[in-house]
Amino acid sequence: MWRDSFRLQIFCLLMAVLAIVVLVHNFFQLEHMDDDTISGSNWITENNVQHSLSQTTKTTRKPYCSYKQQTLSKREQAEQESLLAAILWPKPPDGKIAFVESTDPAHSDFVIVKPVRFFKVGDELEVLVRMKDFQGKPKQYGGDYLQARIHSPLLKAGATGRIVDCHNGLYKVFFTLLWPGEVKVSVSLVHPSEAIQVLLRLREERPDRVYFKSSFKSGKYSETTECNVCLPGDLPVCNFTDLYTGEPWFCYKPRKLSCASRISHAKGGYQKGLLTQEESLFFQSDVNIKRPILSSGPDSVIVKSKAFT
Ligand SMILES: *[C@@H]1O[C@H](CO)[C@@H](O)[C@H](O)[C@H]1NC(C)=O
Protein backbone atom coordinates (compact mmCIF):
# COMPACT_ATOMS: atom_id res chain seq x y z
CA MET A 1 0.00 0.00 0.00
CA TRP A 2 2.70 2.43 1.16
CA ARG A 3 4.89 1.25 -1.75
CA ASP A 4 2.12 1.84 -4.28
CA SER A 5 1.52 5.39 -3.18
CA PHE A 6 5.30 6.05 -3.22
CA ARG A 7 5.45 4.75 -6.82
CA LEU A 8 2.53 6.97 -7.75
CA GLN A 9 4.31 9.96 -6.23
CA ILE A 10 7.50 9.20 -8.18
CA PHE A 11 5.46 8.77 -11.36
CA CYS A 12 3.68 12.09 -10.84
CA LEU A 13 6.97 13.84 -10.14
CA LEU A 14 8.47 12.43 -13.35
CA MET A 15 5.43 13.54 -15.35
CA ALA A 16 5.66 17.00 -13.85
CA VAL A 17 9.38 17.27 -14.69
CA LEU A 18 8.66 16.04 -18.23
CA ALA A 19 5.88 18.60 -18.61
CA ILE A 20 8.21 21.39 -17.50
CA VAL A 21 10.91 20.22 -19.90
CA VAL A 22 8.44 20.19 -22.81
CA LEU A 23 7.10 23.61 -21.81
CA VAL A 24 10.56 25.14 -21.58
CA HIS A 25 11.55 23.58 -24.89
CA ASN A 26 8.44 24.94 -26.62
CA PHE A 27 9.00 28.30 -25.06
CA PHE A 28 12.54 28.52 -26.40
CA GLN A 29 11.41 27.36 -29.78
CA LEU A 30 8.69 30.01 -29.85
CA GLU A 31 11.12 32.66 -28.81
CA HIS A 32 13.54 31.57 -31.48
CA MET A 33 10.80 31.66 -34.11
CA ASP A 34 9.87 35.17 -32.97
CA ASP A 35 13.47 36.15 -33.45
CA ASP A 36 13.35 34.85 -36.97
CA THR A 37 10.14 36.56 -37.97
CA ILE A 38 11.21 39.78 -36.31
CA SER A 39 14.57 39.73 -38.00
CA GLY A 40 12.65 39.16 -41.25
CA SER A 41 10.56 42.25 -40.78
CA ASN A 42 13.55 44.19 -39.49
CA TRP A 43 15.06 43.60 -42.86
CA ILE A 44 12.22 45.62 -44.39
CA THR A 45 12.50 48.29 -41.74
CA GLU A 46 16.22 48.51 -42.22
CA ASN A 47 15.71 49.04 -45.90
CA ASN A 48 13.25 51.82 -45.19
CA VAL A 49 15.65 53.43 -42.77
CA GLN A 50 18.33 53.15 -45.36
CA HIS A 51 16.08 54.85 -47.91
CA SER A 52 15.27 57.76 -45.68
CA LEU A 53 18.89 58.07 -44.59
CA SER A 54 20.22 58.12 -48.11
CA GLN A 55 17.51 60.64 -48.93
CA THR A 56 18.32 63.07 -46.15
CA THR A 57 22.06 62.81 -46.50
CA LYS A 58 21.77 62.95 -50.28
CA THR A 59 24.44 60.35 -50.76
CA THR A 60 24.91 59.26 -54.32
CA ARG A 61 22.25 56.61 -54.66
CA LYS A 62 22.62 54.47 -57.70
CA PRO A 63 19.24 52.84 -58.08
CA TYR A 64 19.62 49.70 -60.05
CA CYS A 65 17.11 50.17 -62.85
CA SER A 66 17.78 47.58 -65.47
CA TYR A 67 14.54 48.43 -67.24
CA LYS A 68 16.08 51.74 -68.23
CA GLN A 69 18.75 49.86 -70.14
CA GLN A 70 16.37 47.34 -71.64
CA THR A 71 16.70 47.00 -75.37
CA LEU A 72 13.29 47.07 -76.98
CA SER A 73 12.22 45.40 -80.16
CA LYS A 74 10.68 47.58 -82.90
CA ARG A 75 7.21 46.49 -81.84
CA GLU A 76 7.89 47.20 -78.17
CA GLN A 77 9.36 50.57 -79.10
CA ALA A 78 6.19 51.47 -80.99
CA GLU A 79 4.03 50.28 -78.10
CA GLN A 80 6.04 52.33 -75.63
CA GLU A 81 5.76 55.43 -77.78
CA SER A 82 1.99 55.06 -78.13
CA LEU A 83 1.58 54.52 -74.38
CA LEU A 84 3.72 57.57 -73.59
CA ALA A 85 1.76 59.61 -76.14
CA ALA A 86 -1.50 58.50 -74.49
CA ILE A 87 -0.39 59.77 -71.07
CA LEU A 88 1.26 62.93 -72.36
CA TRP A 89 0.26 65.80 -70.09
CA PRO A 90 0.72 69.54 -70.60
CA LYS A 91 3.36 71.19 -68.40
CA PRO A 92 2.95 74.46 -66.49
CA PRO A 93 5.11 77.10 -68.24
CA ASP A 94 7.45 77.66 -65.32
CA GLY A 95 9.25 75.05 -63.24
CA LYS A 96 8.40 76.40 -59.81
CA ILE A 97 4.91 77.71 -59.09
CA ALA A 98 4.08 79.13 -55.65
CA PHE A 99 1.20 77.48 -53.82
CA VAL A 100 -0.97 80.63 -53.96
CA GLU A 101 -0.62 80.59 -57.75
CA SER A 102 -1.72 76.98 -58.05
CA THR A 103 -5.25 75.88 -58.90
CA ASP A 104 -7.80 76.41 -56.13
CA PRO A 105 -11.00 74.40 -56.66
CA ALA A 106 -12.88 76.67 -54.23
CA HIS A 107 -12.18 79.76 -56.36
CA SER A 108 -12.81 77.91 -59.64
CA ASP A 109 -16.26 77.38 -61.09
CA PHE A 110 -18.17 76.03 -64.06
CA VAL A 111 -21.12 77.16 -66.18
CA ILE A 112 -23.47 75.30 -68.45
CA VAL A 113 -22.92 76.75 -71.91
CA LYS A 114 -26.06 77.82 -73.81
CA PRO A 115 -28.60 76.49 -71.32
CA VAL A 116 -31.96 76.02 -73.00
CA ARG A 117 -35.30 75.43 -71.36
CA PHE A 118 -35.32 71.78 -72.31
CA PHE A 119 -32.77 69.40 -73.68
CA LYS A 120 -33.65 66.18 -75.50
CA VAL A 121 -32.21 62.75 -75.01
CA GLY A 122 -29.25 62.47 -77.39
CA ASP A 123 -28.38 66.18 -77.22
CA GLU A 124 -24.91 67.30 -76.32
CA LEU A 125 -24.41 69.34 -73.18
CA GLU A 126 -21.41 71.64 -72.99
CA VAL A 127 -19.93 72.89 -69.76
CA LEU A 128 -17.15 75.46 -69.35
CA VAL A 129 -14.82 75.11 -66.35
CA ARG A 130 -12.86 78.21 -65.31
CA MET A 131 -9.83 77.67 -63.11
CA LYS A 132 -8.55 80.24 -60.65
CA ASP A 133 -5.67 80.28 -58.18
CA PHE A 134 -5.83 80.85 -54.41
CA GLN A 135 -5.75 84.61 -54.96
CA GLY A 136 -8.78 84.35 -57.23
CA LYS A 137 -6.76 85.10 -60.37
CA PRO A 138 -7.72 83.17 -63.52
CA LYS A 139 -5.18 80.47 -64.38
CA GLN A 140 -3.31 81.07 -67.61
CA TYR A 141 -2.34 77.49 -68.42
CA GLY A 142 -3.86 74.02 -68.32
CA GLY A 143 -2.84 70.60 -67.09
CA ASP A 144 -5.30 70.24 -64.22
CA TYR A 145 -6.67 66.75 -63.72
CA LEU A 146 -10.47 67.09 -63.76
CA GLN A 147 -13.28 64.59 -63.56
CA ALA A 148 -16.76 65.46 -64.77
CA ARG A 149 -20.00 63.55 -64.79
CA ILE A 150 -23.72 63.91 -65.30
CA HIS A 151 -25.96 61.99 -62.97
CA SER A 152 -29.52 61.54 -61.73
CA PRO A 153 -29.23 60.06 -58.23
CA LEU A 154 -32.89 59.04 -58.05
CA LEU A 155 -32.54 57.02 -61.25
CA LYS A 156 -29.09 55.76 -60.22
CA ALA A 157 -27.95 56.92 -63.67
CA GLY A 158 -24.61 58.50 -64.48
CA ALA A 159 -22.16 59.11 -67.32
CA THR A 160 -18.75 60.70 -67.70
CA GLY A 161 -17.89 63.72 -69.80
CA ARG A 162 -15.17 64.31 -72.37
CA ILE A 163 -12.82 67.02 -71.12
CA VAL A 164 -10.91 69.30 -73.49
CA ASP A 165 -8.03 71.32 -72.01
CA CYS A 166 -7.87 74.74 -73.72
CA HIS A 167 -4.40 75.35 -72.16
CA ASN A 168 -5.46 78.78 -70.89
CA GLY A 169 -7.12 77.93 -67.59
CA LEU A 170 -10.39 77.01 -69.33
CA TYR A 171 -11.70 73.51 -69.90
CA LYS A 172 -14.63 72.43 -72.04
CA VAL A 173 -16.59 69.38 -71.01
CA PHE A 174 -18.92 67.59 -73.40
CA PHE A 175 -21.66 65.22 -72.27
CA THR A 176 -24.16 63.25 -74.26
CA LEU A 177 -27.51 63.36 -72.50
CA LEU A 178 -28.53 59.73 -72.39
CA TRP A 179 -31.69 59.59 -70.29
CA PRO A 180 -34.70 61.82 -69.58
CA GLY A 181 -35.24 63.60 -66.28
CA GLU A 182 -33.38 66.09 -64.15
CA VAL A 183 -29.70 65.67 -64.85
CA LYS A 184 -27.08 67.19 -62.55
CA VAL A 185 -23.56 68.13 -63.59
CA SER A 186 -20.68 67.52 -61.18
CA VAL A 187 -17.08 68.56 -61.75
CA SER A 188 -14.17 67.86 -59.45
CA LEU A 189 -10.49 68.66 -59.37
CA VAL A 190 -8.55 65.46 -58.74
CA HIS A 191 -5.11 67.11 -58.82
CA PRO A 192 -4.02 70.66 -59.73
CA SER A 193 -1.59 70.82 -62.66
CA GLU A 194 1.20 71.79 -60.24
CA ALA A 195 0.70 68.50 -58.38
CA ILE A 196 0.84 66.57 -61.67
CA GLN A 197 4.35 67.93 -62.18
CA VAL A 198 5.37 66.62 -58.79
CA LEU A 199 3.88 63.20 -59.61
CA LEU A 200 5.83 63.26 -62.87
CA ARG A 201 9.05 63.95 -60.97
CA LEU A 202 8.34 61.10 -58.55
CA ARG A 203 7.59 58.72 -61.41
CA GLU A 204 10.92 59.55 -63.05
CA GLU A 205 13.10 59.79 -59.97
CA ARG A 206 11.54 57.35 -57.52
CA PRO A 207 10.32 54.23 -59.29
CA ASP A 208 10.51 52.57 -55.86
CA ARG A 209 7.84 54.95 -54.47
CA VAL A 210 5.26 52.19 -54.42
CA TYR A 211 6.99 49.17 -52.97
CA PHE A 212 6.12 45.51 -52.77
CA LYS A 213 7.21 42.65 -50.59
CA SER A 214 7.69 38.94 -50.72
CA SER A 215 7.94 36.29 -48.06
CA PHE A 216 10.53 33.56 -48.16
CA LYS A 217 9.94 30.46 -46.09
CA SER A 218 11.75 27.27 -45.28
CA GLY A 219 10.28 25.05 -42.59
CA LYS A 220 9.26 27.31 -39.75
CA TYR A 221 11.76 30.01 -40.65
CA SER A 222 10.58 32.95 -42.72
CA GLU A 223 11.83 36.32 -43.89
CA THR A 224 10.16 39.18 -45.71
CA THR A 225 12.02 41.52 -48.06
CA GLU A 226 11.20 44.42 -50.33
CA CYS A 227 10.65 43.95 -54.07
CA ASN A 228 10.37 46.26 -57.08
CA VAL A 229 11.27 46.76 -60.74
CA CYS A 230 14.53 48.19 -59.49
CA LEU A 231 15.99 48.36 -56.03
CA PRO A 232 18.36 51.07 -54.79
CA GLY A 233 21.63 50.27 -53.07
CA ASP A 234 24.22 47.58 -53.45
CA LEU A 235 22.54 44.88 -51.37
CA PRO A 236 22.32 41.39 -52.88
CA VAL A 237 19.08 40.85 -54.82
CA CYS A 238 17.09 37.95 -56.19
CA ASN A 239 16.36 38.26 -59.87
CA PHE A 240 12.76 37.29 -60.66
CA THR A 241 12.81 38.84 -64.12
CA ASP A 242 10.25 37.18 -66.37
CA LEU A 243 12.23 35.05 -68.78
CA TYR A 244 9.47 35.13 -71.37
CA THR A 245 8.50 38.82 -71.42
CA GLY A 246 11.72 40.26 -70.01
CA GLU A 247 9.74 42.25 -67.41
CA PRO A 248 12.28 43.03 -64.69
CA TRP A 249 11.46 42.14 -61.07
CA PHE A 250 13.77 42.01 -58.06
CA CYS A 251 13.59 41.35 -54.34
CA TYR A 252 16.34 41.97 -51.81
CA LYS A 253 17.86 38.60 -51.06
CA PRO A 254 16.78 37.19 -47.70
CA ARG A 255 19.64 36.87 -45.22
CA LYS A 256 19.42 33.16 -44.55
CA LEU A 257 17.11 31.77 -47.21
CA SER A 258 17.57 31.11 -50.88
CA CYS A 259 15.81 33.08 -53.61
CA ALA A 260 13.95 29.91 -54.56
CA SER A 261 12.17 29.84 -51.19
CA ARG A 262 9.90 32.76 -52.13
CA ILE A 263 6.28 31.90 -51.32
CA SER A 264 4.27 35.13 -51.66
CA HIS A 265 3.98 38.53 -53.29
CA ALA A 266 2.09 41.48 -51.83
CA LYS A 267 1.86 45.24 -51.99
CA GLY A 268 4.08 46.81 -49.35
CA GLY A 269 2.96 50.43 -49.37
CA TYR A 270 4.10 53.90 -50.37
CA GLN A 271 7.45 55.43 -49.48
CA LYS A 272 6.81 58.41 -47.24
CA GLY A 273 8.61 61.71 -47.01
CA LEU A 274 9.38 62.07 -50.72
CA LEU A 275 7.79 65.51 -51.06
CA THR A 276 9.40 68.81 -50.13
CA GLN A 277 7.37 71.01 -47.79
CA GLU A 278 6.43 73.24 -50.71
CA GLU A 279 5.38 70.31 -52.90
CA SER A 280 3.21 68.80 -50.17
CA LEU A 281 1.00 71.94 -50.29
CA PHE A 282 -0.26 70.70 -53.67
CA PHE A 283 -1.53 67.51 -51.99
CA GLN A 284 -3.93 68.58 -49.26
CA SER A 285 -6.93 66.30 -49.04
CA ASP A 286 -9.33 68.99 -47.81
CA VAL A 287 -7.99 71.70 -50.15
CA ASN A 288 -6.93 70.45 -53.56
CA ILE A 289 -7.25 66.68 -53.83
CA LYS A 290 -10.55 65.40 -55.25
CA ARG A 291 -12.42 68.58 -54.39
CA PRO A 292 -15.68 69.63 -56.02
CA ILE A 293 -15.78 72.63 -58.35
CA LEU A 294 -19.14 74.32 -57.99
CA SER A 295 -21.32 75.91 -60.62
CA SER A 296 -21.71 79.68 -60.63
CA GLY A 297 -25.23 79.20 -62.03
CA PRO A 298 -27.61 76.27 -62.31
CA ASP A 299 -25.88 72.89 -62.19
CA SER A 300 -28.69 70.77 -63.58
CA VAL A 301 -30.77 70.56 -66.75
CA ILE A 302 -34.11 69.02 -67.62
CA VAL A 303 -33.92 66.41 -70.35
CA LYS A 304 -37.05 65.38 -72.22
CA SER A 305 -37.42 62.00 -73.86
CA LYS A 306 -37.37 62.03 -77.65
CA ALA A 307 -41.06 61.17 -77.84
CA PHE A 308 -41.93 64.64 -76.50
CA THR A 309 -40.43 66.53 -79.44
C1 LIG B 1 18.13 39.16 -64.36
O2 LIG B 1 17.71 38.11 -65.18
C3 LIG B 1 17.51 38.46 -66.54
C4 LIG B 1 16.93 37.27 -67.26
O5 LIG B 1 17.63 36.12 -66.98
C6 LIG B 1 18.83 38.92 -67.14
O7 LIG B 1 18.65 39.30 -68.46
C8 LIG B 1 19.34 40.10 -66.31
O9 LIG B 1 20.60 40.50 -66.79
C10 LIG B 1 19.45 39.73 -64.83
N11 LIG B 1 19.81 40.91 -64.08
C12 LIG B 1 20.66 40.85 -63.08
C13 LIG B 1 20.96 42.14 -62.39
O14 LIG B 1 21.18 39.84 -62.69
Q: Is the pTM of this model over 0.75?
A: no
pLDDT of residue 1: 54
Closest residue by CA, ligand 1 atom 10: 239
Measure 42 CA to ligand 1 centroid, in angstroms: 27
pLDDT of residue 13: 72
pLDDT-above-90 percentage for the chain = 62
Closest residue by CA, ligand 1 atom 12: 239
End-to-end CA distance of the chain: 111
Measure 234 CA to ligand 1 centroid, in angstroms: 15
Measure 212 CA to ligand 1 centroid, in angstroms: 19
**Of residues 12 and 282, more confidently modeled:** 282
Look at 59-63, 86-90, 201-205 and tell me which has the smallest mean pLDDT: 59-63
**Of residues 74 and 95, more confidently modeled:** 74
pLDDT of residue 96: 83
Closest residue by CA, ligand 1 atom 9: 66
Measure 59 CA to ligand 1 centroid, in angstroms: 26
Measure 223 CA to ligand 1 centroid, in angstroms: 23
pLDDT of residue 307: 74
Q: Which ligand 1 atom sits closest to the C-alpha of 64?
A: 13
- Among 239, 251, 253, 259, residue to substitute to test ligand 1 (most atoms within 8 Å of Cβ): 239
* pLDDT(110) > 50: yes
Measure 67 CA to ligand 1 centroid, in angstroms: 10
Q: How confident is the model at residue 3 (pLDDT cuts 50, 70, 90)?
A: low
Measure 41 CA to ligand 1 centroid, in angstroms: 26
Measure 239 CA to ligand 1 centroid, in angstroms: 6
pLDDT of residue 223: 97
pLDDT of residue 115: 80
Closest residue by CA, ligand 1 atom 5: 243
pLDDT, tens only, 31-63: 444 333 333 333 443 333 333 333 333 334 444
- Among 71, 230, 241, 252, residue to substitute to test ligand 1 (most atoms within 8 Å of Cβ): 241
Secondary structure of the chain as H, E, C letters: CHHHHHHHHHHHHHHHHHHHHHHHHHHHHHHHHHHHHHHHHHHHHHHHHHHHHHHHHCCCCCCECHHHHCCCCHHHHHHHHHHHHHCCCCCCCCCCCCHHHCECCCCCEEEECCCCCCEECCCEEEEEEECEECCCCECCCCCCEEEEEEEEHHHCEEEECEEEECCCCEEEEEEECCCCEEEEEEEEEEECHHHHHHHHHHHHHCCCCEEEEEEEEECCEEEEEEEECCECCCCCEEECCCCCCCCCCEEECCCCCCHHHECCCEEEEECCCCCCHHHHCCCCCCCCCCEEEEECCCCEEEEECHHHC
Q: Which ligand 1 atom sits closest to the C-alpha of 239?
A: 1
Domains present along the chain, CATH in parentheses: 40-68+208-272 (no CATH), 86-199+278-304 (2.60.40.10)
* pLDDT(209) > 90: no
> CB under 6 Å to ligand 1: residues?
66, 239, 241, 243
